[in-house]
């Protein structure tokens, strides 16, 4: 997927998790890589259950861009259980299929971020 010309949180990578697949203590690994052209600023990364408006599962570290990057690369690798912080449980629905997504939030509308490959797998 490619995200360009926005400063709103936008889905970059997505996989549909089948109904009843998640169980207590399930963990999914999300890996993605690609290229970007970005002005100075930051790219925020969020893992959500249920799409761009779904529950936050994890926030990945921001990618700070300075100065302008005309052909940069990125990679993320997150293994995440269904928690937002180590002390706060996050309830998810397991009775219907849902999207597990990585969203990106560019700070400058001229940014272009393209995921070239990756995968989402259940590791527990």
User: 4-18, 53-67, 83-97: which range is least confident on average?
Assistant: 83-97
Residue 77 CB: number of other CB atoms within 10 A? 11
122: helix, strand or coil: strand
More confident residue, 91 or 7: 7
CATH C-level class of 2-122: mainly beta
Exposed (0-12), middle (13-18) or buried (19+): which is 124, by Cβ within 10 Å?
exposed
Domain boundaries, given as residue ranges, for the chain? 2-122
Q: What is the pTM (predicted TM-score) of this model?
A: 0.78
User: 9-18, 60-69, 106-115: which range is least confident on average?
Assistant: 60-69
């Amino acid at each position: 997927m490619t995200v360009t010309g926005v400063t709103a949180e936008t889905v970059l990578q997505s996989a549909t998790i089948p109904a009843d697949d998640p169980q207590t203590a399930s963990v999914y690994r999300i890996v993605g890589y690609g290229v970007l052209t970005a002005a100075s600023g930051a790219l925020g990364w969020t893992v959500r259950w249920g799409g761009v408006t779904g529950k936050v599962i994890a926030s990945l570290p921001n990618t700070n861009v300075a100065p302008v990057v005309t052909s940069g690369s990125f990679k993320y690798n997150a293994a995440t259980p269904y928690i937002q912080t180590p002390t706060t449980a996050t309830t998810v629905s397991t009775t219907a299929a849902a999207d597990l997504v990585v969203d990106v939030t560019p700070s400058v509308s001229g940014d272009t971020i393209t995921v070239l490959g990756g995968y989402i797998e259940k590791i527990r």
